[in-house]
A and B are shown apart, each in its own frame.
Chain A
């Protein structure tokens, strides 16, 4: 995110500040690795996430904070599953915690792991006030991707029929349009070695979106954004950028997104 999608970080931070949150970066964080360990064979994959949570917990006590928020769906998914590990898979948690014991006080719980969409959706009326209907009439298709919805235990909303992004779109004064492939996987990392998969899946998603009559697509995931932009002609923007734009935080929005949104509103 920091290296390749700095516009997402910038717009997310601006938005959180505008909503009155004080956000402090975790003093030393570790790459989550993208996917949490799904089987008992892979508990070692929780080491980096639990390390991050340990540091975050220590820092949160100094700051009086209670939540870890991220704008990356992969980090969210992995950290959230790591947060649940002491309860969901105690045997594996103990092995990882033992391994980390010499280095850090093991994380035992106490933090809430949140994705940015959860923070925004908890403050819809404030978001609506900031937005002042700036996107009125724009038809927005929400594309969720996988990592915010599955597995069910970490879903930010009902994975079978999520509404959280549509509600945010409504708060912006825009019109959410729904279509069948909202939660269909874009093909993810296969863009690297099996591009036919990503091409096929994104085209399918694009056809579904086209038939919904949307003006613009919004997604919370940088990898989905990358794949959809690469293989389709859709106008796709990251959710944090669209909300920041609507909230008149233009200095935090990338020129590319400004151009896309301006074209929708008939500005030049």
Chain B
């Protein structure tokens, strides 16, 4: 696995390989952030995250946005430059998970017998890769 220390170019190429999208195409119009239902809970909102990736400046272990994105795919459908920020986020999330970054321990979750399994399944998929 590529590890967490990537040059800007390596990161861009990895994203191209995993998503088929080109982050350099982003023109910073901000539409992705405008439509994102959870942008206000992120540290780097989708457009800022794409910009950070363009410049190579993401610190994966600290980045909260990758755990906040719910993969609603709104930004993916709306981006006029086909950058698909939601897929960029997903790639970063996978990279983080494969390198041992953990969003939160299961033991901290408020789970009991009334918690629907659909919730456990979706949460687990996004936090275990």
Contacts and interface: CB of A to CB of B under 8 A. Distances in A.
Interface of A: 1, 3-5, 31, 33-35, 38-42, 45, 72, 74, 146, 150-152, 159, 184-185, 187-194, 196-197, 200-201, 222-223, 226
13 contacts: A1-B118, A3-B116, A35-B71, A35-B126, A38-B19, A159-B77, A187-B38, A189-B126, A191-B119, A192-B109, A192-B111, A192-B115, A197-B38
B121 A39 contact: no
Given A150-B74, A189-B70, A192-B109, A38 B118 contact: no
B10 interface: no
B125 interface: yes
Contacts of B118: 1, 4-5, 34, 72, 74, 222-223, 226
Those 6 A-B pairs whose CB atoms lie nearest each other, nearest first: A150-B73, A34-B122, A185-B37, A4-B116, A189-B122, A39-B18
Interface in B43-97: 68, 70-74, 76-77, 86-87, 90-91, 94
Chain A, interface SS category: loop
Nearest to A153: B77
Q: In the complex, which of the residues A35, A72, A200 has the most CB atoms of chain B within 10 Å of its own CB atom? A: A35
A39 B38 contact: no
A157 B31 CA distance: 22
Q: What band does the interface of chain B fall in when counting residues whose beta carbon is under 8 Å from A?
A: 35 or more
B22 to A, nearest CB: 14
A41 B73 contact: no
Contacts of B110: 192
Contacts of B116: 3-5, 222-223, 226
Contact of B76 (A150, A184, A196): A150
Nearest to B15: A39
B69 to A, nearest CB: 10
B98 to A, nearest CB: 8
Interface string B91-129: 100100010000110001111000111111111011001
A3 to B, nearest CB: 6
Contact of A226 (B90, B91, B111, B119): B119
A152 B68 contact: no
B124 to A, nearest CB: 8
Q: In the complex, which of the residues B41, B71, B104 has the most CB atoms of chain A within 10 Å of its own CB atom? A: B71
Given A152-B77, A184-B37, A194-B68, A189 B91 contact: no
Contacts of B73: 146, 150-151
Contacts of A151: 73, 76-77
A31 B76 CA distance: 25
A3 B108 CA distance: 24
Given A41-B94, A201-B38, 12 more contacts: A3-B116, A4-B117, A39-B87, A40-B20, A41-B91, A41-B98, A151-B73, A185-B37, A188-B72, A192-B120, A194-B68, A197-B68
